[in-house]
Structure 1
Amino acid sequence: DRVQFEKDCIHIQSTVDDFLSWTTSTDNNSLSNDHPFSQYPNQEYFAYADYMHLPELFGNDQHPLIDMINWSDMGLKDRCGKESTLWIGSQGSHTPCHYDTYGINFVAQIVGRKRWLLFPPDSPISQLQTRIPYEESSVYLDIEPMILDKFHNIDVYDITLEPGDVLFVPKHWWHFVSSIDSITISVNSWLKQPNDNVEQIKEMLVRQIITSTMISHDYSSDQWLNHNEVVTDPVTNLTILSSLMINSESTEVKEPLSKRSRNVITPASYVHEQRLTSTLLGNSMLSHSNEPTTTNNMSSDVSDNDILLKRLVKAMTARDTIDLIYNKLFSI
């Protein structure tokens, strides 16, 4: 019943054409030996290319497809593909349940259907949040969301997003997303909010706690960070934190310290049977379904000190703790 994070995945570079040919193939023997997906039958794996900024994907912001994306019908004047990200997945691809610390989110479904489970910010599930593995600007749930029926009095919006639909995700709403059809394509855009600078400062406080603990205890990034996050030294963290505090009246949403990726987890029905693997095309992930799953549970050879340390970090990075530190920081 534990989430499989992206740090547990295998990542492979590929093109969109390779991804589409693999998704539509009926037999992997039809793929050439040098095809990046040739070792991964699509009956056993799913793949996800996620959080791809369109200008970075195309190498510039002048590509014709970028101008084809127009958010003006949503009242977002002059907003286009330059401020949008692309998501391409095969059937079964997932993102773990999480909320975004910055902005609000508009999602347009282009191809195929996706299932969205949305929970309000004050949902009881928030008690299960985790910052290990750490990922800047996302707070994840430390449990497989498809087993939430074990809990009582949980308000959830269960939505099937179809081609042509646009979904508005309010700030700090928890959401779990899964691809229903064989190919799904979505485009989204985040809009900055007046309080985002406060959230950036709080994210830097979390980063300082996480990375300082890692460095002082010689932990590897594989244990503590999600994929595409980097270990930053305390001096760098403090420099960025100082800059954010000086500009605390700014409402600008700055880019994360590293390119952030969403993650893929195995379907709930397989969660005790699968070991998640994944492949990155751009940011594409592939999941396998035959081997035993790995979990976030502590193994028997983990020392009591390691267990206590993670409990301490969880307590120090809890939202109410960070809120307290933030308030004290500006009152001294």
Structure 2
Amino acid sequence: MGKPYTGDQVPKESDCSFKPQDLGEFFRFLATNRDTKTFHYAGYTHFATLNSTTQQFHTFDWSWAGLKDVGSSKSTLWAGSTGSFTPCHQDSYGCNLHAQIIGCKEWLLWPPDYDLGATRLPYEESSTFSSVDVLDKNYAKSALRIVVSPGEVIFIPKHWWHLARNLETSVSINTWIELSTDSVDRIQEAITRLLVCSLKGYESSQDWVNPGEEISKPHENEMFLRQAINQSNQASGSPNMSRKDGESEQCYFIVDKAAATSDSFIQRIPLPKHPSSYKKSSQEQPDKSVVDTLINLIVCDRDIMNKLSDKLLNSSLR
């Protein structure tokens, strides 16, 4: 639960309050809720955590989108009131199919190389957040804005920045599609976890951790890194193979599940090039701690992380 955007800064999840609630009760609340000063959101709810009384969710699958064996067990539920949102971020792994079931949802998207002040604090595994007010007109006007209606699916290419905001009471379902390039990203996520927990773990408070994220112990972080390296070696056979796929196509997709033929199944629209309006050198926050700045300088720099992961892979093959 949180306050909708008022024009100064997009709220973070850490600015919100949380409480457990029965899903049926939450849906009944959404149907009668008239509170416009507070949004209510049940986001990122894995189907595996829903019990057998919600059979209509457990029958959902993605076969109509050409994805075999991707059913409800690999899907996630999102339901919220007007104004509820997912903060602007990049996903580390795969690409994202998001199906709108009830209501309309607004999406703002920027290409992976668009500079939105990437930060890993507050820390959440596999999510890089934007540190700027992306709803400010200087950023929003450069975004690709898409409003997705019931019966449509939006495809988010890998590493694309995206913010999603419910324009009305909304229910949607998503799944992530794994890509071969994910093996390198998993190494870099393990490096990030090891670094963040090592440098920030001494603090008594955990306001640097996003709600719901569990902090693992040092020996567990080292184990995650070893596992990621081993999995990458098994998947690729050589250190650099897993990055040869290239990035996701420079376009977005809206899928109409009612389309009769495969040719009309996907509307493909090229995206324009966007010049960055964010300058790292001029936007550094003077009140950020040395540790926080160090973390962001390392883990948000793709060249540094690529070199680190390549060095680890090369060392593991000797």
What TM-score bracket applies, with the shorter chain setting the length? 0.7 to 0.9
Alpha-carbon RMSD: 2.5
CA distance in structure 1 between the aligned counterparts of 2:235 and 2:42, rounded to whole angstroms = 30
Structure 1 runs of 4+ aligned residues shifted over 6 Å read: none
Aligned to 1:262: none
Counterpart check, 1:84 vs 2:75: yes
CA distance in structure 1 between the aligned counterparts of 2:125 and 2:231, rounded to whole angstroms = 19
Instruction: Give how far 1:2 is off.
Output: 4.0
Summarize the Cα distance change of 1:22–1:140 in structure 2 as closer, same or farther, 3 Å threshold.
Answer: same
Instruction: Give how far 1:66 is off.
Output: 4.1
Instruction: Give how far 1:163 is off.
Output: 0.4
CA distance in structure 2 between the aligned counterparts of 1:101 and 1:138, rounded to whole angstroms = 6
Aligned to 1:141: 130
Aligned to 2:86: 95
Aligned to 1:315: 297
Aligned to 2:194: 208
Higher relative contact order at CA 8 Å, sep ≥6: structure 1 or structure 2? 1
Counterpart check, 1:188 vs 2:174: yes
Aligned to 2:51: 58
Instruction: Give how far 1:55 is off.
Output: 2.1
Contact 1:298 1:307 in 2 (8 A): no
The one of 148, 163, 168 aligned to 2:155: 168
Counterpart check, 1:14 vs 2:21: yes
Counterpart check, 1:123 vs 2:114: yes
Structure 1: runs of 5 or more not aligned: 28-41, 253-296
Cα deviation 1:93-145 (Å, max 9, x = unaligned): 011111111111111100000001111112233xx010011100111111121
Counterpart check, 1:226 vs 2:218: no
Aligned to 2:271: none
* SS of corresponding position for 1:146: coil
Aligned to 1:150: 138
Structure 2: runs of 5 or more not aligned: 1-7, 237-283
Number of residues of Structure 1 aligned to a counterpart in Structure 2:
260
Q: Which amino acid aligns with 2:181?
A: N
Report sequence identity in percent: 33
CA distance in structure 1 between the aligned counterparts of 2:101 and 2:171, rounded to whole angstroms = 5
Cα deviation 1:203-259 (Å, max 9, x = unaligned): 0100111100123x434222x11011122222111112112212213559xxxxxxx
Contact 1:92 1:178 in 2 (8 A): yes
Contact 1:214 1:220 in 2 (8 A): no
CA distance in structure 1 between the aligned counterparts of 2:173 and 2:210, rounded to whole angstroms = 23
Instruction: Give how far 1:92 is off.
Output: 0.3
Aligned to 1:326: 309
